[in-house]
Amino acid sequence: MKYFRFIGRMIGKAISDGQYMDCYFSKPLYKMMLGEELAFEDFEDMDNNYFQGLKYYLSSQFEAEEEELYFCVEEDFFGRTEVIELMPGGQHIMVTKETLEDFLEKITFHEMFGKVKEQCKFFLKGFLEMIPRELISIFNYRELELLIAGLPDFDIDDLKANVEFRGGFTAQSPCIQWFWEIIADFDKFEIASLLSFVTGCSKIPLGGFASLQGMNGLQNFNIHRLITNDKQRLPEGHTCFNQLDMPEYEDKEVMRERLLFAIKETGGILMA
């Protein structure tokens, strides 16, 4: 626990001294550092496969009573299985359709915080010894990442050499040509927002885009064509797959406006 407290102090000290560190955390930990509440959707950033499995529970095909779920989870401790209750008496309380959302909130909170509660508490204790909560809380979690790791150095040629096109887009598609022209005019904050929106991280690996990681190992930055009749639709980012979904815009300026709005207002870094 002293080690985690020390790491928290080091991160806080680096921020207070204006020094950048080549380290990145999950969205839930950034939110805990800021004192924000965790949400079910935050778990996607930690374990996408598990998250998608839990998300299925919200579908109309899922019948909670038939699955015989209970407000508890089983954890393995060095070969010994232990039942962890998500609420008092949880191993005897069955999940129903009415209590399903409460169950999902509790189980994801357990995965994001409960399993590592003591480690997080000591990390946050060390961090807040260096940076008072009232000073850090003016930022959002993506801005906090920039405070810790700094702004990215960006090489468009490197991205062009390590990008994939899907859904009908090709390197010759007008939208792709516009994309390169648009991001060539981005400043560093906008580049950081774009990277964070698509990859979940505002920095580029030391090995460049060829070393970009996804949920299952190396995963190229990829741009996927959305099949839609709405040519004003906002782009979508899928950080687990480093994927940017875009409709086939018919106008470059519309595309620029929609892309900037998406990365700044719906998941990117809000500009001061």
Mean pLDDT, to the nearest integer, of 36-45? 87
Report the alpha-carbon angle 94-95-101, nearest 5. 160
Q: Tell me what pLDDT residue 272 has.
A: 29
Any residues with CB less than 8 A from the CB of 126 and at least 6 apart, and which? 4, 5, 6, 7, 8, 9, 10, 12
- Per the model's pLDDT, the better-predicted residue between 66 and 39 turns out to be 39
Q: Tell me what pLDDT residue 266 has.
A: 56
Q: Tell me what pLDDT residue 86 has.
A: 92
Residue 181 has pLDDT above 90, yes or no: yes
Q: Tell me what pLDDT residue 64 has.
A: 66
Domains and CATH numbers, the chain: 1-38+113-150 (3.90.1750.10), 51-112 (3.30.2160.10), 156-265 (3.30.2410.10)
Highest mean pLDDT among 3-7, 153-157, 199-203, 225-229: 3-7
Mean pLDDT, to the nearest integer, of 113-122? 93
* Mean pLDDT, rounded, of the chain: 87
Catalytic residue numbers read 240
Q: Tell me what pLDDT residue 44 has.
A: 84
Query: Quick one: three-class SS letters along the chain?
Result: CHHHHHHHHHHHHHHHCCCCCCCCCCHHHHHHHHCCCCCHHHHHHCCHHHHHHHHHCCCCCCCHHHHCCECEEEEEECCEEEEEECCCCHHHCECCCCCHHHHHHHHHHHHHCHHHHHHHHHHHHHHHHHCCHHHHCCCCHHHHHHHHHCCCCCCHHHHHHCEEEECCCCCCCHHHHHHHHHHHCCCHHHHHHHHHHHHCCCCCCCCHHHHCEECCEECCEEEEECCCCCCCCCCEEECCCCEEEECCCCCHHHHHHHHHHHHHHCCCCCCC
pLDDT band at 268 (very low <50, low <70, confident <90, very high): very low
CB 202 within 8 A of CB 192: yes
